[in-house]
Amino acid sequence: MEILTENRSVKHHCGLFGVFGHADAAALAHLGLFAQQHRGQESAGICTTDGETISRIAEMGLVNDIFTKRRLESLRNPAAIGHVRYSTTGSCSDQNAQPLMFSFAGGQVAIAHNGNLINAALLRQKYESHGHIFQTTSDTEVIIHLLAKPAHQEKTRPLVHVLNHLQGAYSLLLLFPDRMIAARDPLGFRPLCLGKMPNGATVVASETCALDIIDAEYVRDVEPGEIVTVTKEGVKSHRFGGDTNGRGAACIFEQIYFADPSSNIFGENVHLVRDRMGRRLSHEAPVDADMVVPVPNCARCAAIGYSNESGIPLGRGFTTSHYAGRSFIMPDQSSRVHQVKVKLRVIRDVVRGKRLIVVEDSVVRGTTTRGKIGALRKAGATEIHLRVASPPIRHGCYFGIDFPDVSKLVATNRTIEQIRDYLEVDSLHFLSADGMLDCVKMPRNKYCTACFTGDYPVEVKEPFDKFSMERSQLRMFT
176 strand-pairing partners = 179
Of these, 12, 13, 38, 161, which contacts a second copy (CB under 8 A)? Answer: 38
- CB 124 within 8 Å of CB 142: yes
CB 212 within 8 A of CB 260: no
> Which residue, 315 or 435, is less far from a second copy as judged by CB?
315
The reply on whether position 472 binds a second copy by CB under 8 A is yes
> To 5 degrees, how large is the angle CA 188–CA 261–CA 7?
85
Smallest gap from Cβ 436 to a second copy, in A, equals 19
* 294 or 392: CB nearest a second copy: 294
Are the CB atoms for 215 and 198 separated by under 8 Å? yes
> Binder to a second copy among 17, 20, 253, 318 (CB under 8 A)?
318
Is 407 among the residues that bind a second copy (CB under 8 A)? no
Residues 46 and 56: their CA atoms lie apart, in Å, by 6
Q: How far is CA 91 from CA 86, 137, 153, 199, in A?
A: 11, 11, 34, 40
Q: Is 401 in the site for a second copy (CB under 8 A)?
A: no
Chain residues 264-303 in contact with a second copy, contact rule CB under 8 A = 264, 268-269, 271-272, 275, 297, 300-301
For this structure, is 14 an active site residue?
Answer: yes
Query: How many residues contact a second copy, by CB under 8 A?
Result: 109
Q: Does 349 bind a second copy (CB under 8 A)?
A: yes
Q: Which stretch binds a second copy (CB under 8 A): 60-68, 361-369, 402-410, 454-462?
A: 60-68
Find the binding residues for a second copy in span 116-135 (CB under 8 A): 125, 128-135
360 closest CA partner among 350, 352, 372: 372
- Segment lying near a second copy (by CB under 8 A), choices 188-196, 240-248, 344-352, 422-430: 344-352
**Greatest distance between any 2 Cα atoms in the chain:** 73
Shorter beta-carbon distance to a second copy: residue 115 or 315: 315
DSSP H or E segment with residue 375: helix 367-378
383-388 and 427-430 as β-strands: parallel, antiparallel, unpaired? Answer: parallel
d(CA 181, CA 230): 6
Binding mask 40-59 for a second copy (x = CB under 8 A): -x----------xxxx----
Does the footprint of a second copy cover residue 67 (CB under 8 A)?
Answer: yes
Going by C-beta distance under 8 Å and a sequence separation of 6 or more, which residues neighbour residue 255?
265, 266, 270, 273, 274, 440
Query: Is residue 466 a contact residue for a second copy (CB under 8 A)?
Result: no
* Candidate segments 224-232, 327-335, 382-390, 408-416, binder of a second copy by CB under 8 A: 327-335
User: Which is nearer to a second copy, 63 or 436 (by Cβ)?
Assistant: 63
* Site membership for a second copy, residue 325 (CB under 8 A): yes
Distance CA 37, CA 33 (A): 6
- N- to C-terminal Cα separation, the chain: 25
Which residues inside 192-221 make contact with a second copy, applying CB under 8 A?
197-199, 209, 212-215
Rounded (5°) CA angle 410-414-419? 65
Q: Whose Cβ is closer to a second copy: residue 279's or residue 365's?
A: 279
Tell me which residues are annotated as active site: 14
